[in-house]
Structure 1
Amino acid sequence: MLSLTQTRYSTHKARCYITDNKRLFLPLLLLISLAIPASREFTLQALSDAFFQVSVFVAATLLIYYYLIDRLPQLQLSYLRAKSGILEIGFASILGALPGCGGAIIVVTQFTKKQASFGSVVAVLTATMGDAAFLLLATRPLDGLLMMVIGVSVGVISGQVVNTFHKSDKFQPTQASDFSEQPQCQPKALIFSRPVWKFALMPSLIVAIVIATNTDLSVFGNVINHGITLFGSIMALFTVVVWALSSKGSSYKQLTSEEAPCNPPSKLTKVLMDTHFVTAWVVASFMLFEVLVNLLGVDLKAWFSEYAYLAPLVAVAIGLLPGCGPQIVVMTLYIQGIIPFSAMAANAISNDGDALFPAIALAPKAALMATVYSTIPALLLGYGLYYYGL
């Protein structure tokens, strides 16, 4: 009787976990798409493309990035602020332009500790692209570097203008506060994925580079071509499943932002957590595109061509959403050639990435006003670039 009760309890607990963890809906939908003959072919291709065109390059870029960032000292904004306001704003913008959300969270946290001005918050949130920067740098590095330069420039101007019209301590909380994420501490799924990635990364990178040179893989024979597609789709599905099992996935934040690893995490752990997060949202974007085109007959390229004047506005509106997930969707649409550079740039300036979560928690007024202030240059830049045909 006790055994039957325990079995029922375990079954009920598993059902609750599946129901509560909204991340699991993505791998479930992928498995359903693979099971249906009408969608199987484009699902396999979308998964393979996501892995070889995005995941592999993102993982390689992250390895290089985290290796270099460990050797760069973090300066205190309070010191720069005492020296010169423009130095503080400039450094805050550079921190924001760094890929990921770490730099922006540093500035937001120092603002709540009364060590940084409100202008620096506006500057860093304006300059940041969040995890979408990894995606852009990995797939279109020149566009990524250009967007970082644009972000820093717009961030410096915005921060200086704000500090000109506001006191530096405007919207600061009355008491100094701090922000810390609950550590994830390497869930079992992530630990299991480490040897898989160690084995697969280098050969996958070689295949990805060959694909990136527009080489027709059919010249190597249909068996090899289909084998590569199948391997890429399996790795992408594996990555999405690991992402889904690496968090409770019960809240909006847990869906749209990366997890907080144990402190200090190993480089490989951080690389895999970020790669899994980016891959999941890219796969979701690829699948949304394939379903709309192949099953519903929607031509997104034609729609955005016909209503091109709305693209920057829509991109800015999506940028207002907290978290990096929605911004990765916009970046994916740009990489696929569906939206123009002007819309991508407008979203990059508008979006605040994961840094908006601690800002909302610790200084909600500052978060709201900084988001409003970053929207203005985003619209100006987006429609300025659109006017020049970009």
Structure 2
Amino acid sequence: MIPLVLPPDLLGSPLQEVANILIGSWREGFVQVSGFVGATILLFSLVQFRYDGRITKWLEENERAQPLAGALLGLTPGCGGAIIAMPLYIRGTVSFGTVVAALAATAGDSAFVILALAPEAAIYAYGLAFISAILFGYAIDYGGLGVGRVDRLVDRMSRPVTDGGFSTANVAAGGPSIPDYDGPDGDDSGAQCRHGHDRASDLPSYLPDSRLLERVSHVVHVLWWITLAGALVAGVMYLAKGAVEPEWAVTATYDGLFTVSGLLGTTLSFYLYFVGRHYIGRSEAGRVRDSFADLYGTFRHAAMETAMVTVWVIAGYLLYEYGLLLTGVDVQGFAAAAGAMAPIAGAMLGLIPGCAAHIVFAQLYAIEEAIPFSALVANAISQDGDALFPLMAIDMKAAIVATIYTTIPGVITGLLVYYFWPYAQFGFGVL
């Protein structure tokens, strides 16, 4: 990280180091990660918009291909593909093996970090996750492995943990679907617009019910996309130059584009996540619908999802850098001494739902080279990203069993990579 030189008469050395980490992370996170994240999420959202839910219909009609299709959905970067399988399982239209295959194949939003900074590692890690997901998914569907026990647990559930107020049925026989969070026409306006809807109470306590902030948020959303385009160009140039950090500059050059788009993009992302999404975007993070009502809504959804990833990426940068500054712990040395426990620990980390912890884990591998490849593979298989949340909201017991199931192939594959994979060392595939 190239330091930002601050006046020595104003800041002492420790304080300048703290500022360097903060401002450097603020600039680099958006260009190195978010530019690629936004482009990929937008691409996947546009596919959903174009095919208008036909992906889910195909899954319902091709039962034998469901675990394979679930793994393919999970393989898509981010959580969007795997999320699609969750409500279909609750409806009883896809198998439990399909759910496990989707969750095992997905690497959540941490996939964007590895794809951007360690593409060769991503190919191998997510390829192994994909194969493991397919094998384990079909083993569950055709060999059992406890799926009947899951159905009995669902049978005994009295009420879901949602606002729907319905009783849960046996999912194998066809249970209830996830309640509709959208507007009556399939648009997300029901969860987005505060004016004309009785939703002001949904606003967090720190935000007023303001038409001005709604308009400002729309402007910020458009400006965010312009900034992301610049960050994507800067990110591609950054990789083409061998991932050499650019100088700090505010000029019409590559260095200036990297600096301005990075600082501005992160700032706008924080606004969209903490303010804008409550006025023009869905408050719920990680919920992906079958389709979108209009093109603007598609772009808006992609922006809100990317803004969420950006916030967690910056948090991960700061947590790691400040943690090292305060403790001086040699993470790479600790991981190297762990031996075979490293992939086991990576798989155990996968039990944590959401993407935040796994984004930090991916950063430790791709940026700091502090995690071995075997641990990355184990975590990629075991973690479920945000895809587990829709299942947790309706069927907590099935969600717990599902995440335990994905941990098993994570541990097995991680240990196989550790003992037999010739490229299991630190920094494999990192640019």
Residue identity matched to 2:412: L
Q: How many angstroms apart in 1 are the aligned matches of 2:337 and 2:34?
A: 32
Q: How many angstroms apart in 2 are the aligned matches of 1:180 and 1:164?
A: 30
Q: How many angstroms apart in 2 are the aligned matches of 1:216 and 1:119?
A: 44
Q: Does 1:120 align with 2:98?
A: yes
Other-structure match for 1:274: 305
Residue identity matched to 2:225: K
Q: How many angstroms apart in 2 are the aligned matches of 1:69 and 1:111?
A: 19
Q: How many angstroms apart in 2 are the aligned matches of 1:69 and 1:259?
A: 13
Comparing 311-320 with 299-308, greater Cα deviation is found at: 299-308
Comparing 232-241 with 124-133, greater Cα deviation is found at: 232-241
Percentage of identical aligned residues: 28
DSSP 3-state at the match of 1:171: helix
Change (3 A) 1:165 1:63: closer
Q: Does 1:341 align with 2:320?
A: no
After superposition, the C-alpha distances for 1:198-230 in whole angstroms (9 at most, x for unaligned) are 332333333222222235645999997578536
Other-structure match for 1:45: 24
After superposition, the C-alpha distances for 1:280-337 in whole angstroms (9 at most, x for unaligned) are 1111111112112334322322222233433222222221112122222222222212
After superposition, the C-alpha distances for 1:30-88 in whole angstroms (9 at most, x for unaligned) are xxxxx94341122111211112111122222333333345445414434222xx3xx22
Q: How many angstroms apart in 2 are the aligned matches of 1:264 and 1:134?
A: 26
Structure with greater helix share of residues: 1
Other-structure match for 2:330: 299
Aligned residue-pair number: 346
Correspondent of 1:133 among 103, 111, 136: 111
Q: How many angstroms apart in 1 are the aligned matches of 2:270 and 2:130?
A: 33
- 5+ residue gaps, structure 1, are 1-34, 249-253
Q: How many angstroms apart in 2 are the aligned matches of 1:223 and 1:369?
A: 54
Matched ranges for 1:279-294 at <5 A: 279-294=310-325
Change (3 A) 1:246 1:299: farther
TM-score (norm 1): 0.77
Correspondent of 2:228 among 201, 206, 223: 201
Other-structure match for 1:211: 238
Could you say what the CA RMSD is over the residues aligned between the two structures, in angstroms?
3.2
Q: How many angstroms apart in 2 are the aligned matches of 1:244 and 1:295?
A: 28
Q: How many angstroms apart in 2 are the aligned matches of 1:96 and 1:206?
A: 27
Q: How many angstroms apart in 2 are the aligned matches of 1:218 and 1:134?
A: 24
Q: Does 1:95 align with 2:126?
A: no
Q: Does 1:238 align with 2:268?
A: yes
Other-structure match for 1:322: 353
Q: How many angstroms apart in 1 are the aligned matches of 2:15 and 2:83?
A: 43
Other-structure match for 1:14: none
Q: Is the 8 A contact 1:44 1:229 kept in 2?
A: no
Q: Does 1:351 align with 2:351?
A: no
TM-score (norm 2): 0.70
Q: How many angstroms apart in 1 are the aligned matches of 2:304 and 2:348?
A: 27
Change (3 A) 1:204 1:122: closer
Q: Does 1:312 align with 2:343?
A: yes
- 5+ residue gaps, structure 2, are 1-13, 156-168, 170-174, 183-190, 194-212, 425-431
Other-structure match for 2:286: 258
Change (3 A) 1:320 1:221: closer
Change (3 A) 1:311 1:343: same
Q: Does 1:377 align with 2:409?
A: yes
Q: Is the 8 A contact 1:258 1:273 kept in 2?
A: no
Q: How many angstroms apart in 2 are the aligned matches of 1:61 and 1:335?
A: 19
Other-structure match for 1:109: 87
